Amino acid sequence: MDRDRLLPGTNEPRLEALDGVRGFSVIIVALFHYSLHPIGGYLGVDVFFVLSGFLITSVVLREGTDFNWSRARMFYIKRALRIVPALLEMLVLFSIMKLIFRAQITHFAGELLSSLFVYSNWTRSFDLGYPFYLGHTWSLAIEEQYYLIYPLFLMMVLRGRSGRWMLAAVAASLALIFCVERFILTNQHASALRLYDGTDTRIPAILIGCVAAVLIETRSVRERLSSIWLAILALAGILAMVATIDWKDPWLYRYGLGILAICSVLLIIHLHTVPGSPLSRCFAWKPLAYTGKIAYGIYLFHLPVFMCFGWIMKWPVPKTMLVGFPITLALAALSWRFVERPALQLKSRFAPAPEPVPVAVSTAHG
């Protein structure tokens, strides 16, 4: 099999339709940040969250239902190899921007440290003024805070054949609790920044993706939820919200994010279980799938590039887009080819050694 059709560092096939979901999501996020709208383009991040919870939990379940310290160690190593190399590249790029545009970039240390140590969402939640140029790292912070705790959570609930159902039950309960908390905070007029950037207010999307990964292992559930018509309806719902909902709208936090997560799950389940459907083939369109493959790099690099041209150099939006987006794509493609993919292929070096096979010793004489 072509190595590009495998998940890096594994023998698992990658679904190009799910790469297409990443591509779709990062495109609408980039358009939003480049001020070309759509008004709800930021919601692409929530689709990322759902997909992340779904895929990572699927991998965990395929590896077995007993989760121990050895698997937790490998989990942390894999996350570090996936996240850290490209993040360091982006922080180097930001540091170069600071050297060139000294006066314009304030809170440099705060931006750098909060992004590197993944707590930038909380500095934004409490409106501390940074990160600004690296403001997009809020979502990375939420995801990594979740995955810092996730292995400990798995060690408590993922034990034996019934462990996966315990995992689904606890994840669903936590998602519901955090959704209720978000509803209460919204009614108490919490700030939009607190609602938008809080780990507790955005983590239900990852948890819902986690629940979906368990549910589709049951054939009857998988068949009911994988209908192409449900998927098309879900996609229409996502597009409608992306086109119309401002990030400060209280409805978003009362109901919208929950609806979006459910729509994302229905779309992902169909693409995952029916890879040959017309909708799956649309999402597997090679340019879109490739965009999804390098989506992490696009997400990391697009905002510093935009800030450099659009905010610091004051270029108009069309010029910024025409120059900045090709640069972003080039940086992301180079990062994937020469940094991210080689890093992911190091996973096998950290895998635990196989248990030695006992050798039979003969006690016969002569």
Domain ranges of the chain: 3-350
pLDDT at residue 353, as a whole number: 59
**What confidence score (pLDDT) does residue 160 get?**
87
Q: How many H-runs (helices) and E-runs (strands) does the chain carry?
A: 19, 0
List residues bridging with 13 in a β-sheet. Answer: 6
* Closest alpha carbon to 105 in 299, 272, 304: 304
What 3-state class would DSSP assign to 285?
A: coil
CB 67 within 8 A of CB 154: yes
Would you give per-residue pLDDT tens digits along the chain (366 residues)? 344 454 444 444 568 999 999 999 999 999 999 887 899 999 999 999 999 999 999 999 999 989 999 999 999 999 999 999 999 999 999 999 999 999 899 899 999 999 999 999 999 999 988 899 999 999 999 999 999 999 999 999 998 889 999 999 999 999 999 999 999 999 999 999 999 999 999 999 999 999 999 999 999 999 999 999 999 999 999 999 999 999 999 999 999 999 999 999 999 999 999 999 999 999 999 999 999 999 999 999 999 999 999 999 999 999 999 999 999 999 999 999 999 999 999 988 887 655 554 544 433 444
Per-residue pLDDT, 13: 54
Give the CA distances from residue 319 to residues 96, 123, 283, 333, 365, in Å, rounded to whole numbers and listed in that order: 22, 31, 29, 22, 87
Shortest CA distance to 114 belongs to which of 97, 93, 136, 86?
136
What is the three-class DSSP state of 115?
A: helix
Structural tokens at position 215: 């549910």
Across 177-213, b (16+ Cβ under 10 Å) vs e yields: ebbeebbebbeeebebbbbbbbbbbbbbbbbbbbbbb
Torsion over CA: 141, 146, 147, 149 (sign) = positive
Cβ neighbors of 115 (< 8 A, separation 6 or more) are 87, 91, 131, 134, 137, 140, 141
Model pTM score: 0.92
Task: Give the C-alpha distances (Å, rounded to integers) separating 328 from 4, 111, 239.
Answer: 22, 20, 24
Give the three-class secondary structure for 316. coil
Cβ of 361: how many Cβ atoms within 10 Å?
5
The reported pLDDT for the residue numbered 307 is 95
Q: What is the pLDDT of residue 364?
A: 41
Structure confidence at residue 294 (pLDDT): 98
